[in-house]
């Protein structure tokens, strides 16, 4: 027996080695593309905002554009609104997405399928269409107003053109991904663990806090970072549904670049935006790496 297995192990070892070199070749292309299309532009943007070409044509080190951004009340107001919108959206997404995901994880049948279809539906609606649909429903004299009026209730102050407009749009737009990722995370909670807890008399809340949540930490972090990365640089919904001022970083950057014809300040805003996203990116990568280590 042992004489038979030894060459087999060797053979397998060799084929793994060849496989890994092919694997490296396969990932080389995407890695090069990543370096060329993403890493290089980031470096060139950072360098371009620090080493500025002066009026005499000479390139000199200057942090003036950053100093301007962080002393300009208007720019800071926009940054603050972006952070506020991102935080509010992130909390709302988890608060709405987690119950749906829990329901989908622990129930079967036709109703669950309908709920799932409904939760995934926004993924297939382009955000510009969504923006106009929201104006029509929650906007002034929209469907919600008409329904309230029909049962003689007072008009609601519409969120359209206020900071809450983009929040509603962004939550709706990002809900499918949140639900999908949380459902995937919940699949790591085994039925037997929950049954065991129930057998010793744990109530649903106890099961959730002691059994489900500890196993969900990672996927909650991943979900939150994904949502934050998408929302921080959102453009269409804040532009169409939101207020004129303060504006979120996406519309602000676009306006500075195209309308103000000011690439330096637009690039500075982009680098600052990137800096904030980087923090959440690091969270995401760390949790992925930890996940990998945890798995044998």
Partner 1 sequence: MNRREFLITSSAAAGLLALPRFASAAAGTIDLYSGSDANIVDLWNNVIRPAFEKAHPGVALKVTDAGDNNGLRAIADRALAALKTKTDPQADLFEQFDPRLPSGGIDAGLWVKFSAENIEGYDHINPLAFDTPYSLPYRGSQVLLAYDTTKLDPKDAPKSWDQLTAWIKANPGQFIYNRPDKGGSGGNFVRRAIHEANGRDPKKFKVDNFTTDFATETLTPALKILNDLAPALYDKGAYTAGNTQSIQLLAQGVVTMVPVWSDQVLQAISQGVLPDTTGLVQLTDLALCGGFSSITVFSNGANKDAALKLAAFMLTKEMQEAIITEIGGFPAISWDHISDDLRKKYADVIPSTIPTFPGGDWEKAIADGWYRNVAPGISRT
CB 138, CB 168: distance < 8 Å: yes
Total number of residues binding partner 1 (CB under 8 A)? 23
Out of 46, 52, 161, 202, point to the residue binding partner 1 (CB under 8 A): 161
For residue 52, how many C-alpha atoms fall within 13 Å in the half-sphere facing its CB? 14
CA distance 264 to 275: 16
Residues between 135 and 154 that touch partner 1 (CB under 8 A): 135, 139-142
Shortest distance, position 129 Cβ to partner 1, whole Å: 14
- Residue 71, exposed/middle/buried by CB under 10 A (0-12, 13-18, 19+)? exposed
Q: Under the criterion CB under 8 A, does residue 259 sit at the interface with partner 1?
A: yes
Out of 62, 137, 218, 243, point to the residue binding partner 1 (CB under 8 A): 243
Q: Where are the beta strands (DSSP E) in the chain?
A: 51-53, 59-61
* Per-residue binding letters, 68-97, with partner 1 (x by CB under 8 A): ------x--x--------------------
Q: Residue 50, preceding bond cis, omega within 30 degrees?
A: no
Among the listed ranges 17-25, 54-62, 253-261, 274-282, the one in contact with partner 1 (CB under 8 A) is: 253-261
Work out the number of other CB atoms within 10 angstroms of the CB of residue 162: 13
In sequence order, the 6+-apart residues with CB closer than 8 A to the CB of 194 are 207, 211, 212
Out of 240, 266, 267, 272, point to the residue binding partner 1 (CB under 8 A): 240
Out of 122, 169, 246, 250, point to the residue binding partner 1 (CB under 8 A): 246
User: Can you say how many angstroms the Cα of residue 193 is from the centroid of all Cα atoms in its chain?
Assistant: 30
Work out the number of other CB atoms within 10 angstroms of the CB of residue 252: 25
* Per-residue binding letters, 14-53, with partner 1 (x by CB under 8 A): ----------------------------------------
Out of 5, 152, 261, 295, point to the residue binding partner 1 (CB under 8 A): 261
Site for partner 1, rule CB under 8 A: 74, 77, 135, 139-142, 157-158, 160-162, 239-240, 243-247, 255, 259-261
């Amino acid at each position: 027996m042992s004489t038979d297995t030894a060459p087999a192990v060797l053979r397998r070892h060799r084929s793994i080695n060849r496989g890994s070199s092919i694997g490296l070749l396969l990932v080389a292309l995407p890695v090069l593309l990543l370096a060329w299309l993403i890493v290089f532009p980031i470096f060139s943007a950072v360098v371009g905002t620090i080493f500025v070409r002066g009026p005499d044509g000479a390139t000199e080190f200057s942090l003036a554009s950053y100093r301007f951004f962080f002393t300009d009340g208007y720019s800071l107001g926009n940054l603050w609104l972006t952070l506020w919108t991102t935080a509010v959206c992130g909390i709302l997404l988890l608060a709405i997405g987690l119950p749906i995901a829990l329901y989908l994880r622990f129930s079967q049948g036709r109703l669950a399928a309908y709920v799932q279809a409904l939760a995934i539906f926004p993924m297939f609606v382009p955000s510009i269409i969504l923006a106009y649909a929201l104006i029509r429903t929650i906007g002034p004299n929209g469907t919600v107003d008409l329904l309230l009026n029909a049962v003689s209730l007072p008009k609601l102050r519409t969120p359209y053109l206020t900071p809450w407009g983009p929040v509603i749009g962004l939550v709706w737009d990002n809900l499918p991904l949140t639900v999908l990722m949380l459902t995937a995370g919940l699949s790591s909670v085994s039925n037997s663990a929950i049954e065991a807890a129930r057998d010793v008399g744990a109530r649903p809340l106890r099961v959730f806090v002691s059994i489900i949540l500890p196993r969900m930490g990672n996927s909650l972090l991943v979900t939150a970072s994904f949502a934050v990365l998408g929302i921080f640089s959102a453009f269409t919904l804040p532009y169409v549904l939101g207020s004129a001022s303060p504006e979120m970083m996406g519309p602000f950057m676009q306006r500075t670049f195209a309308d103000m014809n000011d690439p330096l300040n637009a690039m500075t805003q982009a680098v600052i935006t990137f800096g904030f996203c980087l923090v959440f990116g690091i969270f995401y990568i760390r949790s992925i790496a930890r996940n990998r280590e945890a798995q044998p």
